[in-house]
Amino acid sequence: MKVLLKKRTLLIALFFAFEVCIFFFGRWSISCSDTVALTQRSEHDASQNHQIQVTLPKTFLLIVIMSSPSDSDIRDTIRNTWLKLSAKGPNHFRWIFPIGTSKLDETTMSKLNLEQTQFEDLAFLSNVTESYDNLAKKTAQAIYYSTKNYDFQFLLKVDSDSFVRVGAILKSLRDIANPRLYWGFLDGRAKPFRTGKWKEIDWMLCDRYLPYQLGGGYVISHGLASFVSNNLQYLKYYVSEDVSLGVWLAGTNAKYVHDPRFDTEYQSRGCNNEYLITHKKSPQQMKALFSNMKQTGKLCFKEFQGRPSYVYDFSVPPSECCTRRNNSVIP
Ligand X SMILES: *[C@@H]1O[C@H](CO)[C@@H](O)[C@H](O)[C@H]1NC(C)=O
List interacting residues with ligand X (CB under 6 A). 127, 144, 232, 326
Task: Answer for the pair 141, 128: CB distance below 8 angstroms, yes or no.
Answer: yes
Closest approach of Cβ 248 to ligand X, in Å?
15
Nearer to ligand X, 127 or 134 (CB): 127
Distance of alpha carbon 93 from alpha carbon 261, whole angstroms: 20
Task: Answer for the pair 98, 66: CB distance below 8 angstroms, yes or no.
Answer: yes
Residue 183 φ/ψ, nearest 5 degrees? -120, 135
Nearer to ligand X, 127 or 226 (CB): 127
Nearer to ligand X, 297 or 306 (CB): 306
Contacts of 180 (CB under 8 A, 6+ apart): 221, 223, 224, 252, 253, 254, 255
Cα distances (Å, whole numbers) of residue 108 to 67, 105, 204: 14, 6, 38
Half-sphere exposure of 247 (CA within 13 A, CB side): 21
Closest approach of Cβ 151 to ligand X, in Å?
18
Closest approach of Cβ 239 to ligand X, in Å?
20
Nearer to ligand X, 205 or 232 (CB): 232
Nearer to ligand X, 108 or 127 (CB): 127
Question: Which H, E and C letters describe 45-71, residue by residue?
Answer: HHHHHHHHHCCCCEEEEEEEEECCCCC
Closest approach of Cβ 237 to ligand X, in Å?
12
Nearer to ligand X, 144 or 218 (CB): 144
Closest approach of Cβ 229 to ligand X, in Å?
8
Closest approach of Cβ 189 to ligand X, in Å?
15
